[in-house]
A and B are shown apart, each in its own frame.
Chain A
Amino acid sequence: MSKDFNNIDKNIEGDDDMSTLAIENKEYRRLDITKLRSKKSSVISSEESLKDIVPIDWSDEVLSGKKKVIITSKK
């Protein structure tokens, strides 16, 4: 499905209520599971997978639900 990000941007700039609606209406691309399964893979434990992961130290406002993280592309 094609996406019209230019149109969405216009909505964001134009009206706060509309921007919320526009963001909610944007669709996420679905992962092609078949493509993923065609790759060579292996299984490891949670312990092994997490041994080098550094949990993100979110702010108290995020942890308490007062603020939401939105990660957006600047490109």
Chain B
Amino acid sequence: MCKVGDIILVQNYNDNGIDLSRHSFVIISDEAGQIQGLEYDLMCNVMSSFKNVKHREQKLKYSGNYEVLYTDSIITDGGNGLDGYIKAEQFYYFTKDTIEYEVIGSLEPEFFDSLIQFIEDLEIQTIDVLDNIKKND
């Protein structure tokens, strides 16, 4: 069972040719709700790493991307040495019983709080990704 603040890795999910497998998501809400008449019980932001230095500079100029430094990440007894970012202005909606996932870690509450503050302070248009709940109609 996953909870707010967890990092999940979606497994074996393929919808209309779109493969979400291998993508890591941060759970920002696990409360049931509706959006555009569609029910969900999981809201997530996707995590991404950088292709190269140029890609990093480009992505971090965008105000919707929340940087995650390798030095912020503690992987028990080691890590992969890569920085990345959380795409904080895009919200993926799921229902827990329709996706397979594995909890691979979590954000420490203080880090999570700063992400939520970042989201609430965003002054750009947000984006909703609903096609993972539409198919349950």
A interface residues with partner B (beta carbon < 8 Å): 3, 5, 23, 26-33, 35-36, 39-47, 49-50, 52-59, 61-63, 65, 67-75
Contact = CB atoms under 8 A, between A and B. Distances in A.
Nearest to A46: B18
Interface in B1-46: 4-5, 7, 9, 15, 17-18, 20, 22-24, 28-29, 31, 33, 36, 43, 46
A63 to B, nearest CB: 7
A36 B30 CA distance: 15
B53 interface: no
A3 B48 contact: no
A72 B18 CA distance: 31
A70 B102 contact: no
A64 B47 CA distance: 19
Most buried by A among B108, B119, B130: B108
Contact of A72 (B7, B72, B125): B72
Interface of B: 4-5, 7, 9, 15, 17-18, 20, 22-24, 28-29, 31, 33, 36, 43, 46-51, 55, 68-69, 71-80, 82, 84, 87, 90-92, 102, 104-114, 116-117, 119-120, 122, 125-132
29 contacts: A3-B109, A5-B110, A26-B108, A28-B4, A29-B109, A30-B4, A30-B116, A36-B91, A39-B126, A40-B126, A41-B126, A41-B127, A42-B128, A46-B18, A47-B17, A49-B127, A50-B20, A54-B49, A54-B84, A57-B82, A67-B76, A69-B73, A69-B79, A69-B106, A70-B76, A70-B106, A71-B107, A71-B111, A73-B114
Most buried by A among B80, B105, B109, B126: B109
Given A33-B29, A45-B131, A46-B18, A56 B82 contact: yes
B125 A30 contact: no
Given A46-B20, A72-B107, A72-B108, 19 more contacts: A36-B91, A41-B125, A41-B128, A44-B129, A49-B87, A49-B92, A54-B49, A54-B55, A58-B9, A59-B75, A59-B79, A67-B77, A67-B78, A68-B76, A69-B7, A70-B105, A70-B107, A70-B108, A71-B111
